[in-house]
A and B are shown apart, each in its own frame.
Chain A
């Protein structure tokens, strides 16, 4: 486990978190708990969108668009990219479900085709090299298959330092770029990835720009608009 402090391994019950949010803000009158907390408590959001804070995790919804074989393949691929090590891996963080949801709700037809072609290619390469579908290969064999695919596809600006997002730039995106980006995002944005692999603190209360960082410490889970 490589977590520095605080939230390591702890999961956030959403209601407790609300209370925590109301008291952590430093000083002054806290108006916070009155508005949003009251709305959540009432359970009445008529005319309003349910605040995201009161919603279940994105992956906590049913989705059934992959066949059993496809699900096994996607799971094996995600886990190969981000395996369980000392910390949870892609399957622990429900990344395969995240990918199925993206396939269902987020990808346009060309990205779906790219994704499907990539999956087929993965199995084809696994068959050629190891005589089995990807999901049935050993972990070491799986790694070699994805590494080879990445080498074959790697000449694209996505792989530049700080590269672009597949969501902004869909032209000529290689499958491995799409696959890596959505797997990494699904992993680090998940409840498990954010709290048990990265560090997560939604309500820091203050700012300290000079804390120490150990060699093995993880980043904070990201929040946009710094």
Chain B
């Protein structure tokens, strides 16, 4: 996309600057440019040409370096955190940041794995594509149990924007008609495995409170805006030139480019947002050009901050002025605080004897889902934790990667590991995490990263509620696996794990009160009216479903609001 864009100009005043080209920055750019605004998108990562420049795409197994074995010497040095992701390997590596370029600090005794994208497209390039709406209860939870401040909006406010975004990102899924797990605008669902159909039938009989549905996934099953349906090659995070999964690159960036109103500037690291105390507004941003090292200033009437939860807080905290000595838009002091991530610490497995003679063709990049069934419509009597969790379920036919660990040498061993092993049903819960003031990011001014930003220091820990919830997941998973017909169950081992759901959110939260929140119900700064923060930072609570669709719906809604004010000349 880079060839066709105009040069960014430091003398012009843009209608809007969008900081970050990831999942939410892409949506902001599309929405604002389609409304006729001149937009400059600043992305510190490097350019990437879609389609075609995905280095690992459709790589034959035998061309992958080291047979795909983790290049541990290199990873220890340059990718100690990123390499822990299931989606990181030699074929996806170009999409990730190098930890050695931008390390972060952690408070002693805490362990949070911060996964990040290093290209135009951010983490939309390698995300897992699971796409769910929040339910109405998610927006009332804080008000009801008193953890965190009340959300300034309700489900009904966001519902039309969910629909709006779903229609163009493309989501395949099955309607279930549940109030707590709202249906969306779906393309036809993906097929289930024979074993999944069997499990669904058994659960309907033996655990009828459980809904078991095909994953709702931002992977196409029908053509959309020149993008092709999935061809089931199975390795999405390597990139997809047919645009079959949603990313900034496949969807929002081409749409924004088409308007002729977008200027994209990669390798542009935003350092600060510049504030003018005379007008009470942000006037632009200071950027470090990563190619020349030059410091540049770009001007705009409106700023959309979409650098991802932690980076957006980092930029605000780094934007100090006499008016905002603790960071821009931070008169409340909440910026950087109430960091949340999903509780994904309980994974439970069941082994099945069914369907030994059933197999599959095509690699379906999607699993099944059990929506939240705990504490819906009031606290369950037997639940000693608040809120709830959903469960991502995958059936996997084991192959040599799992079975090679058996004893044996020679023909018999070779023959045993060449054939499929048993079916395994893996259940990974993603649970809500309460907003705690102590979970936070701060800046260490004494150290700078490759982008010349002060290092982020993270303190992220789960509390008692999350620990209790984890125990409940393991109990419930046992019940569900038995109902599903597992012959052997391998429960969660309860061991300490890093916090690593890659659903970090909530460092610049929304709220009704400017004293206890940074943003109003339009993702607009209480302090600085032409500043909008619409990524995960804005979240007031964490819900339990994968969050990106909700960030995108908020972004589209905020962009619509900002564009209306811009048209009226109010911003």
**B-contacting residues of A (Cβ < 8 Å)?**
2, 12, 14, 17, 21, 24-32, 34-36, 38-39, 48-53, 55-59, 80-83, 85, 87, 89, 98, 102, 105-106, 108, 143, 146-147, 150, 154, 158-163, 165, 167-168, 170, 180-182, 184-186, 188-191, 194, 197-198, 200-214, 216-226
Contact = CB atoms under 8 A, between A and B. Distances in A.
A205 B232 contact: yes
Which residue, A160, A163, A205, has most C-beta atoms of chain B within 10 A?
A205
B398 A162 contact: yes
21 contacts: A24-B231, A27-B222, A28-B227, A29-B226, A30-B228, A48-B55, A53-B57, A56-B63, A57-B60, A58-B64, A59-B62, A143-B409, A162-B402, A165-B69, A181-B404, A182-B67, A190-B62, A191-B62, A205-B232, A207-B363, A226-B364
The list of the 3 closest CB pairs from A to B, nearest first, reads: A35-B52, A28-B228, A207-B362
B71 A26 contact: no
B246 interface: no
Interface of B: 49-73, 86-87, 89, 91, 94, 190-194, 196-197, 222-223, 226-237, 241-244, 356-365, 394, 396-402, 404-411, 413-415, 417-420
A58 B63 contact: yes
A205 B72 CA distance: 34
A31 B229 contact: no
B52 A147 contact: no
Nearest to B65: A58
B53 A35 contact: yes
Given A83-B410, A224-B89, A226-B363, A158 B405 contact: yes
A49 B94 contact: yes
Contacts of A28: 223, 226-229, 242
A39 B361 contact: no
B3 to A, nearest CB: 12
Contacts of A163: 405
Contacts of B417: 184
A80 B359 CA distance: 30
Contacts of A14: 60
Contacts of B406: 159, 161
B69 A154 contact: no
Contact of A186 (B54, B67, B194, B241): B67
A106 B60 CA distance: 20
Nearest to A213: B359
A83 B414 contact: yes
Nearest to B397: A219
Given A181-B404, A206-B232, A209-B197, 18 more contacts: A31-B51, A36-B51, A49-B55, A49-B94, A51-B57, A52-B63, A55-B63, A57-B62, A161-B405, A167-B72, A182-B69, A186-B67, A190-B67, A203-B58, A207-B232, A212-B359, A213-B420, A225-B365
Contacts of B227: 28-29
Nearest to A48: B53
Contacts of B408: 150
Residue of A32, A59, A105 with most chain B CB atoms under a 10 A cut-off: A32
Given A35-B52, A38-B52, A48-B53, A170 B72 contact: yes
Contact of A98 (B50, B67, B360, B363): B67
Given A52-B63, A185-B68, A202 B233 contact: yes
Contacts of A207: 190-191, 230, 232, 360-364
Nearest to A168: B70
Nearest to A37: B52
Contact of A203 (B193, B231, B397): B231
- Determine which residue in B197, B227, B235, B400 has the highest number of CB atoms from chain A within 10 A of its CB, and name it: B400
B419 A81 contact: no
Contacts of A32: 51, 241-242
Contacts of A81: 409-410, 413-414
A197 B418 contact: yes
A158 B420 CA distance: 20
A163 B191 CA distance: 31
Given A57-B63, A161-B402, A220-B399, A82 B72 contact: no
A224 B235 contact: yes
Given A189-B61, A189-B64, A209-B196, A223 B234 contact: yes
Contact of B63 (A31, A53, A201, A211): A53
Contact of A35 (B64, B197, B232, B241): B241
Contacts of B405: 158-163
B199 to A, nearest CB: 12
B228 A39 contact: no
B60 A150 contact: no
Contacts of B73: 106, 108
Contacts of A223: 61, 233-235, 363
Contacts of A225: 86-87, 234-237, 365
